[in-house]
Amino acid sequence: MTFKTNSDSADRSRDKPSEDVQNDDSQHGNGDLVVVANRLPVHRSCPESPWETSPGGLVSALMPILREHHGVWIGWAGSLEAASDPFSHEGLFNVPVPISPDEVENYYEGFSNSSLWPLYHDACQPPHYHRHWWNPYVKVNRRFAERTAECAAPNARVLVQDYHLQLVPGMLRELRPDLRIGFFLHIPFPPVELFAQLPWRQQILEGLLGADVVGFQTRAGAQNFIRLVNRYTSHRGVGQAIMVGQRHVQAREFPISIDFDRFEQLAQDPAIIDRAEEIRAEVGEHRTILLGVDRLDYTKGIDLRLRAVDELLKSDRHTVNDLALVQVSVPSRESVDEYVEVRSRIEELVGQINGAHGEVGQMPVHYLRRNLPIEELVANYLAADVMLVTPFRDGMNLVAKEYIACRLHDTGVLVLSEFTGAARELDRAVLVNPHDIDGMASAIERAITMTKTEQARRIRSMRQKIRRRTVFDWANDFLGAVDAASSFSMTAGGGTRDTS
């Protein structure tokens, strides 16, 4: 490992990096700022290929801060990789955590994605609970915590990400009381009635309470957490603060966002504008283009969205000649049964709708099951008249924000599920209940017929909001809160840190 530490002492000096890993200290993160996430911010198609930075808002938001602080990112290198040594890539020090094939099945596909994921998304698929998934979850969380304890400099700030690693803050605090720890949950945090099902509810809550700041996408998520702490632990939370021994833990919302300027710039790129025109011409200039872009996940409500479009095509108001849906579905978690089932359900529906309403050379649903390069994604955002974002539950949903950021001419309409975190900020979207097929069909109709003046009023107001608070503000706010909350705990007498 890169750094050895003595967790008993807060004023220990940093050991030298081990020689088998790196000799050049300038290539190391110094561990003053550590991000811990299930996945590293890089991927490669096979162990012989070079690493590439993964796309996505979280990575682009944290990379500049980590580079500035010579930080470290600790995470899993993906299922193709066995253990590999720490390495630098594009100025960031990556520390891989090995996860065995059995652990992928039980910790990742099992407890993370078949217990927690459905439970936290309103149990829109029944969550499964198995003790043989829980134990590997604990074991892998411990491995992440130990790796972090080894890498973090004295008094370092550690930002732990998401539902895979909810035990890490508690484990890390025991190993390294000197650290300042933030935890951020990217997905929704469920209400008491649902979370109460979890056989290991108390362990999860205690795990999260190891952090100085527990961050959520929405205020409702933070409030659910505080209610649960009051109900199922011996700690007491009032407002946003929870007393854990002598420590104050802060629980509050930090709504995540996008790199607004990047999308705005891409939307002005002449090659992307040409490609958008090409898409419009291919689909049919005279047709209204509806667009859906989602990971192929049962929480995204793609099936009911398709049925709402089917309703419109069955009505006497629309035919395949005036309406088309482009549905981009990005493959995801394909070894989990529910993901296989939702894919067949969606693909069967696409076939039925195209069979019932299509003509030779003209289909109502253009279904793409693949990940699009960002340029092609933006070209689709530019080509679409109406963006459909209709998950049954979603922590935030950045696709909604990306669409709005790309609409430079203030045209277009966003139809948005009221059960997304984004709906709090994007309240000028046409809000829908994604379980109500007729309601969604009417909302899409309203979007199609909305006047240009009304479109402009709505898009302008939403663009301003997104521009004002980007993913970089999110990262700064969260980091700032970790600093502020931990110094507050120290003045309250709870600190064991070396403040010299």
* Contact residues: ligand F6P, CB under 6 A: 38-39, 162, 186-187, 332-333
Smallest gap from Cβ 187 to ligand F6P, in A, equals: 5
Smallest gap from Cβ 76 to ligand F6P, in A, equals: 9
Please state, in angstroms and as integers, the Cα–Cα distance from residue 8 to each residue in 156, 311, 357, following that order: 15, 65, 70
DSSP states along 49-113: SPPEEPPSHHHHHHHHHHHHTT-EEEEE--TT--S---EEETTEEEEE----HHHIIIIIIIIII
Cα 253 from Cα 289, distance rounded (Å): 35
Question: DSSP 3-state assignment of 153?
Answer: coil
Smallest gap from Cβ 39 to ligand F6P, in A, equals: 5
Question: DSSP 3-state assignment of 439?
Answer: helix
Nearer to ligand F6P, 88 or 332 (CB): 332
Taking CB positions, which residue lies at the least distance from ligand F6P?
A: 186
Smallest gap from Cβ 256 to ligand F6P, in A, equals: 10
Nearer to ligand F6P, 241 or 374 (CB): 374
Q: Is the Cα dihedral 261, 263, 266, 267 positive or negative?
A: negative
Cα 154 from Cα 369, distance rounded (Å): 46
Smallest gap from Cβ 295 to ligand F6P, in A, equals: 6
- Asked if 458 and 227 touch (Cβ cutoff 8 Å), the reply is no
Nearer to ligand F6P, 3 or 144 (CB): 144
Nearer to ligand F6P, 221 or 495 (CB): 221
Please state, in angstroms and as integers, the Cα–Cα distance from residue 378 to each residue in 52, 226, 358, following that order: 21, 39, 27
Residues 6+ apart with CB under 8 A from 275: 375, 376, 379
Residue 209, Cβ neighbours under 10 Å: how many? 24
Nearer to ligand F6P, 179 or 296 (CB): 296
* Amino acid identity, position 88: S
Nearer to ligand F6P, 116 or 272 (CB): 116
Smallest gap from Cβ 182 to ligand F6P, in A, equals: 16
Cα 482 from Cα 182, distance rounded (Å): 6
Smallest gap from Cβ 186 to ligand F6P, in A, equals: 5
Smallest gap from Cβ 331 to ligand F6P, in A, equals: 10
| Residue of 361, 284, 358, 291 lying closest to 320 (CA atoms) | 358
Cα 139 from Cα 175, distance rounded (Å): 15
Residues 6+ apart with CB under 8 A from 198: 115, 119, 129, 204
Smallest gap from Cβ 212 to ligand F6P, in A, equals: 22
Residue 466, Cβ neighbours under 10 Å: how many? 21
Nearer to ligand F6P, 211 or 256 (CB): 256
Nearer to ligand F6P, 158 or 459 (CB): 158
Residue with tokens 């991927």: 43
Nearer to ligand F6P, 186 or 369 (CB): 186
Smallest gap from Cβ 44 to ligand F6P, in A, equals: 15
Question: DSSP 3-state assignment of 423?
Answer: helix
Nearer to ligand F6P, 221 or 237 (CB): 221
